[in-house]
Amino acid sequence: MLVPLTEVLGPARDRGRGLGAFNVIHLEHAEALVGAAEDVGLPVVLQISENTVAWHGSLAPLAAATRTLAERASVPVVLHLDHAVSVDLVRESLDLGFTSVMFDGSTLDDAANRSTTREVVSLCHERGVDVEAELGEIGGKDGVHAPGVRTDPVEAQRFALDTGVDALAVAVGSSHAMTERTAALDLELVVAIRAAVPVPLVLHGSSGVPDDGLVAGVRAGMTKVNIATHLSSVFTGAVRHHLESDARLVDSRRYLGPARSAMRAEAARLLELLALR
């Protein structure tokens, strides 16, 4: 069933549990992620990033397929536009039935970030769509953010109150696009931000955080946990294995199917890990 972000994010925060948010690059990803959520009976956030939109050349086809899967799912599924820097793309996502939007104004100066985020919040809330935004820079995004950046709790509180966002992405030690799980979260900072900010916190760049770090981060106060690169690595690893094992293989279903299954199994494991089961 397709649901708003706050319908599953608020209860997760109140119970001290994490909510898995995983990126969709193509249909097999969406199928794997919805299947994983159904396997463990937990909600999931399906994220389509602006970078993925650019790669496909448009948003509508992948969004339509992903939304159909979400609507037919037996568990709550959020359809989320991730790292949108274009307000026009946000508007398009509203028309396509997205239930959540992450506006990324981190490359703007502070005044412009707040002003545009408020504009996005107004647009989305008029349509019953939730908004996530970002104050502090998250390490590694497109090579422009330093991994050492940290979010100030007081500034995070002011930003959330000033913009009216429903969730806030904060910088606490993770970094985008990591292929090794070696990042260490600043758990004391997470606790401080959680105490100061009135909305649920979002951890980006979580692929680089090991299992015990993810659990500790959720227990310290993180709620929505974004994982993309790690699951893509699992998917690609399975594709590579099947292609290398049979040089005559030409039917893409023969290697995409096992890759989808591998991603489904790992996503299910992560959903349960984050839910502290």
In this structure, what CATH number is given to the domain that contains residue 64?
A: 3.20.20.70
Residue with tokens 């995070």, as numbered in its chain: 156
Given pLDDT bands bounded at 50, 70 and 90, which one contains residue 142? Answer: very low
For residue 32, is it within any domain?
yes
Given pLDDT bands bounded at 50, 70 and 90, which one contains residue 208? Answer: confident
Given pLDDT bands bounded at 50, 70 and 90, which one contains residue 176? Answer: low
Q: pTM of the full predicted structure?
A: 0.92
Question: How many domains, the chain?
Answer: 1
At residue 147, the pLDDT reads 57
Separation between Cα atoms, residue 178 and residue 176, nearest integer Å: 6
Summarize pLDDT for 61-88 with one digit per residue, the tens: 999 999 999 999 999 999 999 999 999 9
Residue with tokens 């000033």, as numbered in its chain: 162
At residue 171, the pLDDT reads 86
Amino acid occupying residue 232: S
Q: Please determine, for residue 132, whether its predicted confidence score (pLDDT) is greater than 70.
A: yes
For residue 219, is it within any domain?
no
At residue 22, the pLDDT reads 98
Closest CA to 202 of 229, 233, 162, 169: 169
At residue 207, the pLDDT reads 81
At residue 167, the pLDDT reads 98
Q: Please determine, for residue 17, whether its predicted confidence score (pLDDT) is greater than 60.
A: yes
Domain holding 82, by residue range, is 5-135+164-172+225-274
Summarize pLDDT for 97-115 with one digit per residue, the tens: 999 999 999 888 888 999 9
In terms of pLDDT, which residue wins out, 12 or 248? 12
For residue 141, is it within any domain?
no
Catalytic residues: 82
At residue 137, the pLDDT reads 52
Where would I find the beta strands (DSSP E) of the chain?
A: 19-23, 44-49, 77-84, 100-103, 130-134, 167-169, 201-203, 222-227
Q: Which helix (H) or strand (E) holds 227?
A: strand 222-227
- Other CB atoms within a 10 A radius of the CB of residue 139 amount to 23
Cα–Cα distances (Å) from 217 to 37, 69, 123, 222, 263, in that order, read 21, 30, 32, 6, 23
For residue 54, is it within any domain?
yes
For residue 35, is it within any domain?
yes
Given pLDDT bands bounded at 50, 70 and 90, which one contains residue 174? Answer: low
At residue 140, the pLDDT reads 40
**Mean pLDDT for the chain overall:** 91
For residue 154, is it within any domain?
no
For residue 101, is it within any domain?
yes
Q: What is the mean pLDDT of residues 34-42?
A: 98
In terms of pLDDT, which residue wins out, 248 or 178? 248
At residue 120, the pLDDT reads 98
For residue 147, is it within any domain?
no
At residue 11, the pLDDT reads 97
Separation between Cα atoms, residue 169 and residue 133, nearest integer Å: 6
Separation between Cα atoms, residue 52 and residue 67, nearest integer Å: 16
Query: Which residues, in sequence order, are CB contacts of 42 under 8 Å at separation 6+?
Result: 20, 75, 271, 272, 275
